[in-house]
A and B are shown apart, each in its own frame.
Chain A
Amino acid sequence: MKWSKKDLLDLESLNKEEISMILDTARSFREILDRPVKKVPILRGKTVVNMFFEPSTRTSASFDMAAKRLMADTVNISPKTSAVQKGETLLDTARNLEAMKIDLVVIRHSSSGAPHFLASRIKAGVINAGDGQHAHPTQGLLDMFTIREKRGKLEGLNVLIVGDVTHSRVARSDIHGLLKMGAKVSVCGPSTLIPMGIQDLGVKVYYDLDQALAEADVVNVLRLQLERQKKGLLPSLREYSQLFCITGERLKKTKPGITVMHPGPMNRGVEIEPAVADGASSVILDQVTNGVAVRMAVLYLLTGGEGSVSEAIKKEA
């Protein structure tokens, strides 16, 4: 199978084979990350522009590192340093960059659909690094990669997503990706943070965390944005923590070997107990490592990479 898409905008528009292809390709790159020399010249001569219009540490560093490990040239743009500050539109910014003959744009933006807007108007490939509350496809892919790595499969697993589902692009990408790969997905959180019609995506909804955890093989804990309380979506963080924090006590009642994930950044003590975040069930740092491998795979495929990665490396070396 050959990769045929110009952009990676969401997981909804990928089929099972395409998701598998990215995950399989990522596995080869994951091995490279354990080598003493972590660079391969696969993207030499290509230029990747990282446009992060929202604060980001791990995703922007991860994309930058992924591109650099493939030896692409990278340009990092943030709203503070870009002409957007001077009133330039997103489209004009992108068109100017395109005039500089770039190959890929990685974009994070607070507006849902902003990457789709760009992708339909520029020739360069566009990778969505998180748009509004819509999608975060590479996070979804790295979550699936990590689950597959830890549990050996995705099909048939019960994955529970806990927390602020309404505002989470990670949740939406996980749901689309995991369901396509044959997992069962549930969500749990306060009813004010579970969006209308989420069941239509094919997930089960719980409001009682202990009940939801009973079935789960994997629990993915979402970050709670603390301003939700001010917006009247929660009575207090204390109450949220009482009802929805993943604690060691709660995990004692779950299936043995449950995998605990978190896309970060964490509010320790609010959504996850520190001992759980750092405990034996946690794969949170593995997610971060795997994120680089997954993003390397996406960059590789979107710039026309095909076939075995090791052969591609030999060819370029």
Chain B
Amino acid sequence: MKELKIQKAEDRLIIKNGRVIDPANKRDEATDIVIKDGVIESIEKSDNAKSGAQVIDATGLIITPGFFDMHVHFREPGREDEETIETGSLAAAAGGFTGVACMPNTTPVVENQGIVQLVKSRQTAYCGIYPVGAVTKGLECQELAEMGDMFHAGAVAVSDDGKPVTNSNLMRRALDYCRMFDIPVISHCEDLFLSADGAMNEGALATKLGLRGIPNVAESSMAYRDAQLAALTGGRLHIAHVSCAETVEVVRQAKRRGIKITAETCPHYFILTEDAVKGYSEMTRVNPPLRGQADVQAILEGLEDGTIDCIVTDHAPHSHEEKEVEFDQAPTGMIGLETSLGLCWTHLVETGVLTPSQLVEKMSLNPRNILKIGNGSAVGSGAGLTTGGKIEIGKIADLTVFDPQSKWTVDPEEFFSKSRNTPFKGFELTGKTVMTVLNGNIIR
């Protein structure tokens, strides 16, 4: 059984000869990072002989600000059989993430200060946990949840993720209200009338497989609505899990108009197409569904031109029993924390879509900027710290160290997550985390 061990910060640690990529400071060079008492002391070639230093040779490895996934589901409280904050944190650390934002659709829903505090109280030493509060009480789209209270308790954003805020007026109020705290409203864009009973992407393949289809416009029409509401209110809007070309265009146009909008996508939306559904593999059932080749292309372009700010996993663990059923009855979602880096490196960097530095922006700097999350151990503090996603002297060491050459085959049995629901089993990937450094402690 694999194990992740935490090595407490030594008096002085030198990570030598690694390629340090820090987009915020426009740094991409082979150098040394010296960490003293968990804080970065210097970023330059250093003397090994510094008193009592532990030296890690990082030749051939890349060192970046710790990755941050702003969209995960850790199922605690309520479905600890699928994932707990602890197992989710282990999966995150194994994947190179030093922080994650947990969506509120748990049981009970994260809809008040008490439940935000409960989630925060389950913090582990493997990964920073940042709760996202609900927009509406019980995710029922009837009344606004206590967003201010949740913000003050440490919520970094609000979202009814898993469900859309169907009531346009409530969405308007949420965007307006959240301006007071300068936190984003994360929108799960889905017109439920258009997606009703749908199990996969609408089109010829759905017709052939006899599965009900979900058209792209089910997502993009709501993204457009929300962009208009963000323009009206001046609130900050973040579009979750963009899956189709039309939504990319909505975000692109909104950004051109100066609307406060950001967007994320997941590896499965730029790697897989609806063709993966052939054979009715329940692992490929996600919401929004896997789309067509033109959508994949549009998402790649959106990543390349900066329309899409972040890459998230939408890590959605499901028990084997629940997932291994008829396709249209299977719950939607797949896990992703432990495959994300390999998938992104293989399919974005090695293919030339993104430079290594751009990938680091989307996996580390941008999500922290959107959520205003600071560096290192500022766990759950919410707003205020804006230095996250950077490698700077005097700041807490919060780093991801990975081997861009390492070739590996995805084997879900080796995952730290409690769940195994991934369609990437058997995929040959390049790029693997070697260790993460959280608050100066080495996790590997």
Instruction: Enumerate chain A interface residues (CB-CB to B < 8 A).
Output: 12, 89-91, 109, 111-114, 116-117, 131-135, 166, 169, 172, 195-198, 200-201
Contacts and interface: CB of A to CB of B under 8 A. Distances in A.
Interface string B185-207: 00000000000000100111111
Contact of A197 (B199, B207, B212, B325): B207
B280 A132 contact: no
Interface in B316-348: 321, 324-329
B23 interface: no
A132 B211 contact: yes
Given A196-B203, A200-B204, A113 B321 contact: no
Contact of B210 (A91, A131, A197, A200): A131
Given A89-B325, A90-B325, A113 B208 contact: no
Interface of B: 199, 202-213, 279-280, 282, 321, 324-329
A135 to B, nearest CB: 7
Contacts, number: 74
Contacts of B209: 112-113, 134
Contacts of B326: 90, 109, 111, 113-114, 117
B204 A132 contact: no
A14 B271 CA distance: 30
A132 B328 contact: yes
Nearest to A113: B280
Central interface residue in B207, B213, B321, by most chain A CB within 10 Å: B207
B204 A197 contact: yes
A114 B325 CA distance: 8
Contacts of A117: 280, 282, 325-327
Contacts of A132: 210-211, 328
A113 B327 contact: yes
Contacts of A172: 207-208, 210
A90 B325 CA distance: 7
Contacts of A111: 326-329
Nearest to A168: B210
A198 B211 contact: no
A91 B207 contact: no
Given A112-B210, A169-B210, A196 B329 contact: no
B215 to A, nearest CB: 8
30 contacts: A89-B325, A90-B326, A91-B324, A91-B325, A111-B327, A111-B328, A112-B199, A112-B210, A112-B280, A112-B328, A113-B211, A113-B326, A113-B327, A113-B328, A116-B279, A117-B326, A117-B327, A131-B210, A132-B211, A133-B212, A172-B208, A196-B204, A196-B206, A196-B213, A197-B203, A197-B206, A197-B207, A198-B204, A198-B207, A200-B204
A207 to B, nearest CB: 17
Given A113-B327, A116-B279, 9 more contacts: A91-B325, A112-B209, A117-B325, A133-B210, A134-B209, A196-B202, A196-B203, A196-B213, A201-B204
B382 to A, nearest CB: 42
B130 to A, nearest CB: 36
From B199, B208, B280, B327, name the one whose CB has the most chain A CB atoms within 10 angstroms: B208
A132 B212 CA distance: 10
A198 B321 CA distance: 34
A267 B417 CA distance: 53
A89 B321 contact: yes
Give the 3 A-B residue pairs with the shortest CB-CB distance, closest first: A134-B210, A197-B204, A113-B280
Nearest to B327: A113
Nearest to B325: A89
Nearest to A231: B196
Contacts of A200: 204, 207-208
A117 B329 CA distance: 12
Contacts of A135: 210
A91 B321 CA distance: 10
Contacts of B327: 111-114, 117
Contacts of A169: 210
B74 to A, nearest CB: 26
Highest count of chain B CB atoms <10 Å: which of A111, A113, A198:
A113
A201 B327 CA distance: 22
A302 to B, nearest CB: 20
Contacts of B204: 196-198, 200-201
A193 to B, nearest CB: 12
Contacts of A12: 208
Contacts of B329: 111
Nearest to B326: A111
Contacts of A90: 325-326
A114 B204 CA distance: 20
A169 B328 CA distance: 16
A146 B390 CA distance: 73
Nearest to A53: B326
Contacts of A109: 326
B282 to A, nearest CB: 8
Contacts of A198: 204, 207
Contacts of A196: 202-204, 206-207, 213
A91 B325 CA distance: 7
A135 B282 CA distance: 18
B280 A201 contact: no
Contacts of A112: 199, 209-211, 280, 327-328
A198 B213 CA distance: 13
A285 to B, nearest CB: 27
Nearest to B208: A201
